[in-house]
Amino acid sequence: MADTFHGVIAFAFMVTMILLGVLLRARISFLQAALLPASLIGGVIGFVLLATGLDFGFASSDFVAFAFHFFTLSFMSLVLTGREGGAAPESVRNGGMWLSIGWTMSLVLQALVGLGVILVYNAVTGSTLSAYLGMLVTHGFTQGPGQALAMGTIWENEFAISAAVDFGIIYASVGFIVCFLAGVPAARFAIAKGLNKNVAARLDDEFLKGVHDIEERPSAGSQVTHSANVDSLVFHLGVLGFAYLMTNEYLLAVQTSLAGVAPFGVPVEVFFSHNLFFIHGLLVCLVLRGLLDRAGLSHYIDNDTQKRITGSSVDLMMVATIMSIQFGLLTEYFVPIMAVALSAALLTGLMCFVYSRMLGSLPVERAITLFGCCTGSTGSGLLLLRVMDPDLTTNVSRELAFFNVAILFLSLHVLMFIAPVLPSLSLTLVCAVYAATFFVGGVAWYFLSPRT
């Protein structure tokens, strides 16, 4: 049985780092002031241990699969979560559409910025670094670890873009760090200037330390199934597991039926690769959730329990992503990676805050939340929102539920049909499509932005 322990102990290593992050956050004031999540703290510690040889026999590559699958599970679980009440559907839809259009614009903007930075870097230094490695930044920043790994794997295996997987992991990790190091001070500044709507917002001791007092501990969800039958958490995991299984079988069936089909020299099965499990899994979960709602069975999904699964997946994804970084590659390409990442972060921030000025309500909340979503994940965007709106009294948290579905459809032409085969396409064509997407998005953002 000894050979079965490697993956399990790797998982134990990850969650131990999160535990260490919780303890340090509760004790160190600097970490509290920065509001760094335990998973980010633990991931950095794990990365340092791996880089210095104190690795318990593990390598950074042992955590790549965890980052990919927990990213995918977090979004599939999020889609399975039902709608929340408390706000008019039209109000939530308008704000959610503003966030969704902004995210789609960020997706193409960051790719163009990354391309430009690498081209300039090569011209100045004489390097021959692939320009596609610069465009990969958007899949690490705007999409997160799972898609950075997915696109990196496709580009590396199908189109021989060397080190694409490692670059994707690094971009995703830097994105999380930028999200909190830039987003938290921005949120604190908004509170200090009274720019946020929730005037009662305050960073109390519980929020800073990251641990609830005994008397204030909230419920983790309602029990759907009787414990004499099956634990309710296992039941919810079963629903998510069913969706995962159905997505896998669907992809295998399509891959078999389309094997060898390659119009214009592009294998169609690439679009149904397991590397794109995220997109297909979301579609399967959308259908599954719709069927449950139509059949009157939605009460079998407890939203609070489903949120715990989503939140846990995000934490595990974050720590795994940072622990997946190869130290040697990071040091070798530190300058171009940082140049791409910082340029993408700067222009993304400018886009979010400049366009938020057209909003009639909640401009700061929406801008900072969108910045978090475009440099980390929906979870990090929600955490930045909680700095300004701790009890989530504004509509923005509910708008994120709409946002998570809408972005899939608004960006489908990029995520499904261009990004997977981008290295096989003309850069002129790609830049034209991306620029057109940004321009159309900007026009739509202006006319569709909620004014009240």
Per residue in 440-450, pLDDT tens?
999 998 887 76
Per-residue pLDDT of the chain (452 residues; tens, 9 = 90+): 778 899 999 999 999 999 999 999 999 998 988 888 899 999 999 999 999 988 888 999 999 999 999 989 988 888 888 766 555 555 678 889 999 999 999 999 999 999 999 999 999 999 999 999 999 999 999 988 888 988 999 999 989 999 999 999 999 999 999 998 999 899 888 888 888 887 766 677 887 888 888 877 878 788 999 989 999 999 999 999 999 999 999 999 999 888 777 776 667 777 888 888 988 998 899 899 999 999 999 889 998 898 889 889 989 999 999 999 998 889 999 999 999 999 999 999 999 999 898 888 889 999 999 999 999 888 788 888 888 887 677 888 888 878 878 888 899 899 888 999 999 999 999 999 999 999 999 999 888 776 65
Residue with tokens 């009460």: 299
Summarised one tens digit per residue, pLDDT across range 36-88 is: 889 999 999 999 999 998 888 899 999 999 999 998 998 888 888 876 655 55
Cα gap 152→135, rounded to integer Å: 11
Residue with tokens 């989503």: 310
Greatest Cα-to-Cα distance within the chain, rounded to the nearest angstrom: 68
- The whole-model pTM stands at 0.86
- H/E stretch holding 158: helix 145-159
Residue 326 dihedral angles phi and psi, to the nearest 5°: -85, 115
Dihedral sign from CA coordinates of 388, 322, 218, 225: positive
Radius of gyration, alpha carbons of the chain: 21
The pLDDT mean for the chain works out to 89
Cα gap 441→254, rounded to integer Å: 32
Q: Determine the angle formed by the axes of helices 232-258 and 303-323, rounding to 10 degrees.
A: 60
Torsion of CA 231, 232, 234, 236, to 10 degrees: 170
Tokens of 279: 């997109």
Summarised one tens digit per residue, pLDDT across range 188-219 is: 888 888 888 877 666 778 878 888 888 778 78
Cα gap 340→137, rounded to integer Å: 7
